[in-house]
Amino acid sequence: MSLNSGILTYGKKDISYRVFYVDRKTLEIAVHPDGSVVIKAPLGTEYEEVRKIIVKRARWIKRQLDYFAQFNPRTPQRQYIGGETHLYLGRQYRLKIVTGDKDEIKLTKGYFRVTVKENPAYEKVKKLLEDWYLEKAADKFGESFERCWPHFGKHFLSKPRIRIRRMKKRWGSLSKNGTLTLNADLIRAPKECIDYVVTHELCHLQYHDHSPAFYQLLEKIMPDWEKRKHKMELALV
């Protein structure tokens, strides 16, 4: 698989796109929820031919980008009050806040049952829920890593250590010293989306950039990675 990238100007808007040359018979243009434009073209297609088709479809591409833009931000500012919904592993759960003998959170029958000893103020409920998410993230991210690692361990690569923290702009990263950092908020995504992020970052053990070789490895290990990525973006953006 080889790769080209370019910029299409439509009206006053510059639209970036990437072209992948793959083993297929027809050309496909996809506009994704994160605003990325990806073209898959048959092997051997001249770039100028691809470019002509992109220009011809510019109006449609712009319309799709405008459609997705209307949903940003999709999730309103959280208030941490009873009845509000929060995500866990891709499912929505409502908050049910009660007072009791100790501070705790239980997931039951479609609800986050939040028990607090004192006045259930915003900051108190928020901290309890964030701490609960971190605890679950440690377990679920570890399970995801064990599902994904066999694809890489057989190549005698060094096993990274996992670190969990909140990040504003990234779902994951892999440092040069072999630390796999995952965004704690990823615990809100479905399991298959968590596996995508883990697999994506583990591919950087072999390719440190986003070169065509990197995407070739990612597609070999996880052929439906784009579908998982889009599902995550729709759920979490």
Per residue in 157-166, pLDDT (tens digit) is: 788 999 999 8
Check pLDDT > 90 for residue 51. yes
**All residues at 6 or more sequence positions from 146 whose CB lies less than 8 Å from its CB, including other chains:** none
pLDDT at 76: 62
Rounded to whole angstroms, the Cα distance separating 104 from 117 reads: 9
Check pLDDT > 60 for residue 53. yes
Rounded to whole angstroms, the Cα distance separating 213 from 185 reads: 29
**All residues at 6 or more sequence positions from 231 whose CB lies less than 8 Å from its CB, including other chains:** 190, 192, 193
Max avg pLDDT among 38-42, 139-143, 205-209: 139-143
Domains with residue ranges and CATH for the chain: 2-69 (no CATH), 85-133 (no CATH), 142-236 (3.30.2010.10)
Give the confidence band of 147 by pLDDT, cuts at 50, 70, 90.
very high
The beta-strand segments (E) located in the chain are: 2-10, 13-22, 28-31, 37-42, 85-88, 91-99, 104-108, 111-116, 161-165, 172-174, 179-183
Check pLDDT > 80 for residue 140. yes
pLDDT at 26: 92
Going from the C-alpha of 187 to that of each of 15, 129, 165, 184, the distances in angstroms are: 32, 12, 11, 6
What is the average pLDDT score of the chain? 88
pLDDT at 134: 95
DSSP structure class, residue 184: G
Check pLDDT > 60 for residue 2. no
Give the confidence band of 36 by pLDDT, cuts at 50, 70, 90.
confident
Check pLDDT > 70 for residue 108. yes
pLDDT at 60: 92
Q: Across the strands, what pairs with 37?
A: 31
pLDDT at 75: 55
pLDDT at 19: 92
CB neighbourhood size of 70 (10 A)? 7
Per-residue pLDDT tens digits for 186-217: 999 999 999 999 999 999 999 888 888 888 89
**Average pLDDT of span 65-69:** 78
Rounded to whole angstroms, the Cα distance separating 237 from 235 reads: 6
**Average pLDDT of span 170-194:** 92
